Structure 1
């Protein structure tokens, strides 16, 4: 099975390199289909590995080559395919393949068609390096790789200032988190002398609690940056400046969940420091309701879905923080399917509406785009957690985990968030597909191409059925993850929790359908303080601008003008002028006259002898 590991890992890289050869040339459909084919090959290999690990119940490990060998430091470039990494590999390759195919239709008129597919496949390769690595150093290579590719893809339309600004914001925010991850890695090596997962995880129990808390907090800081957790969250919504399929792949299904994967992978560490885990869960619950509240009033189609992603990441961190690692991984997988297809559906709507994003300028598109409408309704039902779709199974398990852990406040926050999620999901559906058509008569909305819809169908099916495999999933991943079962929860109590959660989700949907079937809420609502607070993202971007960005810029300008120009540059220029003037003054002694040269030599010799004599006396 070793060959499948290499195929799964390197097939996207081959596609990326081939597409890169044509990156400066005009559009070639070949690059889109070739990279999609290579992703399909990677998906086939990943699913084969999933079947093999599931049936044989073993992990596969390979060392590609010795990477860093200096003294006692020995870091191989190795990969592991076990019960956790193979799940991530399968999710990444399945979603990536469908996104690549969808992108062929979405990017068909773009001048950067070839370059786009090179970037997108390079991202998938980096993501696979991240999830398949067998040590923290190789994980960090993939971690930075997905960051670079995300920067390239967010700023893909570099002629737009808003796109380049968003790309830089995402890159800088992630650097803050990456510093934490690096410091955590340094602490691990300093105390254990290795970065290999199996060695490190086995040695964690020998370290002092204070050291473990520092390591856990620093690793989570890295997860906060990558998964856009408060206060490093602002970049995710702004990242919607990139092409919509990029949002589906990177900012919904794969890269943003890397932080959750890091916590799940490091479960042996966080199991030893439950206080840090509880802090992670509290932050996750806050982010869940915080992001959901902003989605309630936003009118940008892609940003609503982005805030939804933030909210669902909060759910995942609640589960991981409370020690329910398999539940966090389960929701990660189900969320990848229904959220990615939501973004792809939004891409279809954008094409039909000539890149319009304001949902207030849509409406009545169901009759023109029935396939997209049905798929987005299915994905929205899954997101809302309605039985029997995938989101119902994974989200309810998180709420059960919070209730079972006696984290009543966290459960209440997640329960309220479930209602808000259902409301804003169907507010989006109703404003786009139903009600009065608010778009210009000059527009003629139309359904996406058949192969684009075909690429979305597998993800929509998975959004429906993925939750049905809950028992097989838990049996599979708990071979290496801690078992978490709500065994102390009475059967009747578990059913009551399910009914209560389903009730608030159905209520949220009903309110959205009822209100937006007509004209929605009154205009006076938009004049209230709460609406302005939510629509302005709690004024956090403004606070960052006033308290961080502008002061930092002012300090930078002062340092440039005073320190660099007046001190450093002036000192160097002054030294240069001094040397030049001395050269001008001493130039006459180089007359070429032999007598003058001999006199100078004699003078220098006498001066040297006098200097030596003085030193000997002293």
Structure 2
């Protein structure tokens, strides 16, 4: 089993190094093929480990080497494959393998084809380090690794300004990459503080040691550690107010969006809360805050998706909303349900993003759904895939999202948090509406793209075939919910609905279904027969509020970015240049001047040297006399 652990972990690393060998060369198709094969090897190893853990119930724990030994601090390079980590490993490697194969077709005309695969595989390797580590320090290394790789991938087309944001054309891939990187570094400071609090009070960062020591810590220390760790999770999983980077990250290539926003980076925050569940279980106030914030973000993000016109950003807002659902479940103590929704969401959301990539590829990089329509005639398979993914996202029986999302909503009712339940139910209806709004505006109605001289075409057959496992899982993954619960609750706390909830579970499910079907019906009525623009609606204050993301990016720009830049400019010109630099330059000038002056003493004339020696002797006698007088 130890060999399988290393294969699962290091196959993506080998893939990245192999692709990097050809990073500066022209496009070579075998680079993408070898990278995809190595990711498939990692998936097979992860699946074999999952089978072993499922059948035996035993975790696989390996220590590759000692990493840090300083005083009492001992941190090994150790990895643990248990019910939680192996679930993440399997989901990450499966989605990553499909994304790699997809990228062979999607990036076929890109001059940096080889470099892209190097970055993409490095991203997967960092995510595997994150989920497999047996201690908080190793998790943090993977955490920062995915941050660096996301910066490289989101800014991959650094030479290209963004043309899709007419209201803010300054947004470019490089700007979006920097925004994601900086905002996550702000959150990571909180996570570091949490790790420091844990080590200071426990003396170790190993998961098993830390979790065993938690009952001995005071409530204030537990709350401080939980809050600090969750701040890190807020950044990585783009929770309000650290959410704006996620939609701007759509400036990267679509395979990046499918990988980062479906199965890897943005789910890392949820994974952290699930992995550290012993800590969060002992801090009910912090956990309730997590559930409340997650519920708010679910509604908040869904509301912005209702009016957005950018195909990829609609799906990104959907990701943000579904992350809110996951945090709601984890905050309410249903950790295994949060993990199940994470896995199910990865399948249908990756399928949705890849389908959007097909549309973008066909539409010559156009993303405005108002300029599409009627694409199902020429993109039948992409239409089917995106339709299936949207049904799963909307929570329609009996697709994957139906089981996991309904379980989260039922949990909110079961815990007596009726307000959270109501918000999540309404959000489910909004999710169904915006999901099918984009489907109908993209694939149904009049062929608006003809007015722009676009001639769409379906994606390559091998790409469509590669996407098929995601389509199958989006349909059937929910049926494995019972087996998954039995498997993962050997490690995570069991969470059962009360008898009272079981008796009315069908009513609760029916309420959610009514909202979901109602959302789809409304979208069908408004958009299935083509785009009918409502100028009165689009000019209303609430439509503009949603279209401009509640003006939060503008607020950040006006009240954080610009003042910070202004203060930095002032500190540079007033303090750095006139005080710091001036002091350093002044010292240098004094040394230069004294050097120039004293250099005149070196004349080469013996009588001058004798005169200076006499002067020196007199000075020494004066100093000696003054010293003697003071001592006497």
CA distance in 1, matches of 2:120, 2:626: 74
Stretches of structure 1 that go unaligned for 5 or more consecutive residues are none
1:39 match: 39
CA deviation digits over 1:433-470, x for unaligned, max 9? Answer: 00111012632211100111011100111111111001
CA distance in 1 between counterparts of 2:207 and 2:121 reads: 27
**For each residue in 1:331-380, what CA deviation from the matched residue of structure 2 results, as whole angstroms up to 9, or x when unmatched?**
00000000011000000000110000000000000010000000100000
Q: Which runs of 5+ in 2 are unaligned?
A: 162-171
Residues 18-71 of structure 1 deviation map (CA, whole Å, 9 limit, x = unaligned): 100110111001110110000000000000000000001100101111000011
Matched, 1:299 2:309: yes
Query: What does residue 215 of structure 1 align with?
Result: 225
| 1:145-191, Cα deviation, whole Å (9 max, x unpaired) | 00000000000001024000000000000001100010000010000
Residue of structure 2 equivalent to 1:464: 475
* Residues 591 and 476 (structure 1), Cα distance of their counterparts in 2 relative to 1, 3 Å cut: same
What is aligned with 1:75? 75
Q: CA deviation at 1:517?
A: 1.8
Counterparts in 2 of 1:477-496, with a 5 A limit? 477-496=488-507
C-alpha contact 2:294 2:326 (8 A) present in aligned 1: yes
Measured in 2, the distance between the counterparts of 1:189 and 1:352 equals 52
Corresponding position: 1:534 with 2:535: no
Relative to structure 1, the CA distance from residue 599 to residue 543 in structure 2 (aligned partners, 3 Å threshold; closer, same or farther) is: same
Tell me what 2:124 maps to.
124
Counterparts of 1:318-467 in structure 2, within 5 Å, are 318-440=328-450, 442-467=453-478
Deviates more, 1:589-598 or 1:561-570: 589-598
Q: Matches of 1:447 and 1:8 in 2, distance apart? A: 34
Task: Give TM-score, length-normalised by structure 2.
Answer: 0.96
**What is the rounded CA distance, in whole Å, between the counterparts of 2:366 and 2:338 in structure 1?**
35
1:591 aligns with 2:590: no
Q: Does 1:556 align with 2:568?
A: yes
For the residue of structure 1 that corresponds to 2:512, the secondary structure is helix
> Does residue 525 of the first structure (1) align with residue 537 of the second (2)?
yes
RMSD: 1.1
What does residue 265 of structure 2 align with?
255
Per the TM alignment, residue 77 of structure 1 is displaced from its structure 2 partner at its CA by 0.7
Would you say the 8 A contact 2:32–2:101 is kept in 1? yes
Q: Which residue of 2 aligns with 1:153?
A: 153
- Do structure 1's residue 607 and structure 2's residue 619 form an aligned pair? yes
The alpha-carbon deviation at position 520 of structure 1 amounts to 4.2
Question: Would you say the 8 A contact 1:389–1:463 is kept in 2?
Answer: yes
**CA–CA separation in structure 1 for the residues paired with 2:440 and 2:415:** 37
Partner of 1:502: 513
Q: Cα deviation per residue 1:414-440 (whole Å; 9 max; x = unaligned)?
A: 000000000000000000000111012
**For 2:627 and 2:62, how far apart are their aligned partners in 1?**
67
Whole-Å separation in 1 of the counterparts to 2:435 and 2:626: 90
Deviation, structure 1 residue 498: 0.7
Change (3 A) 1:286 1:350: same
Mapped partners of 1:227, 1:197: distance in 2: 22
Alignment partners' CA distance in 1, 2:177 and 2:46: 31
Separation of aligned partners in 2, 1:76 and 1:597? 67
* 2:14 matched residue in structure 1: 14
Alignment partner for residue 582 of structure 1, among 587, 594, 599? 594
Contact preservation (8 Å) 2:414, 2:498: no
Determine if contact 1:4/1:49 at 8 Å carries over to the other structure: yes
Distance in 2 between residues matched to 1:260 and 1:37, nearest whole Å:
29
- Tell me, yes or no, if the aligned pair for 2:179 and 2:245 is still in contact at 8 Å: yes
Kindly state the Cα deviation for residue 604 of structure 1 after the two structures are TM-superposed: 2.5
| Alignment match of 2:174 (pick from 160, 164, 189) | 164
SS at match of 1:556: helix
Are the counterparts in 2 of residues 252 and 306 from structure 1 also a CA contact under 8 Å?
A: no
State the Cα distance separating 1:488 from its structure 2 match: 3.0
Q: Structure 2 residue aligned with 1:276, among 242, 267, 286?
A: 286
Shift of 1:584: 2.1
Cα pair distance change 1:93/1:612, threshold 3 Å? farther
Quote the offset at 1:588 in angstroms. 1.6
Which residue of the partner structure matches residue 164 of structure 2?
A: none
Whole-angstrom distance in 2 between the partners of 1:2 and 1:451 = 34
Q: Deviations over 1:489-528 (max 9, x none)?
A: 3433111011111111011011101110234452211011
SS in structure 1 at match of 2:375:
coil
Separation in 2 of the partners of 1:367 and 1:189? 60
Q: Secondary structure at the match of 1:589?
A: coil
- Work out the CA distance in 2 between the residues paired with 1:296 and 1:102: 29
* Partner of residue 475, structure 1: 486
> CA 1:615–1:228 in structure 2 vs 1: closer, same or farther (change >3 Å)?
farther
After TM superposition, give the deviation of residue 615 of structure 1 in Å. 3.6
Q: Is 2:567 aligned against 1:568?
A: no
Q: Distance in 2 between matches of 1:70 and 1:605?
A: 55
Cα deviation, 1:528-562, whole Å, max 9, x if unaligned, reads: 11100000000000100111011001001001111
1:586-617 deviations in Å (ceiling 9; x for gaps) = 22211122332243234324423433443452
SS of structure 2 residue aligned to 1:314: helix
Secondary structure in structure 2 of the residue aligned to 1:252 = coil
Residues 151 and 180, structure 2, Cα contact 8 Å, conserved in 1: yes
1:577 Cα deviation from its structure 2 partner? 1.8
Distance 1:119 1:325 in 2: 32
For residues 194 and 519 of structure 2, what CA distance do their matches in structure 1 show? Answer: 42
In the alignment, the residues of structure 2 paired with residue 371 and residue 531 of structure 1 have an alpha-carbon distance, to the nearest angstrom, of: 33
> 1:196-215 residue pairs with structure 2 within 5 A?
196-215=206-225
For 1:605 and 1:121, locate their aligned partners in 2 and report how far apart those are by CA, in whole Å: 75
- Range 150-159 or range 597-606, more displaced: 597-606
Q: Secondary structure at the match of 2:450?
A: coil
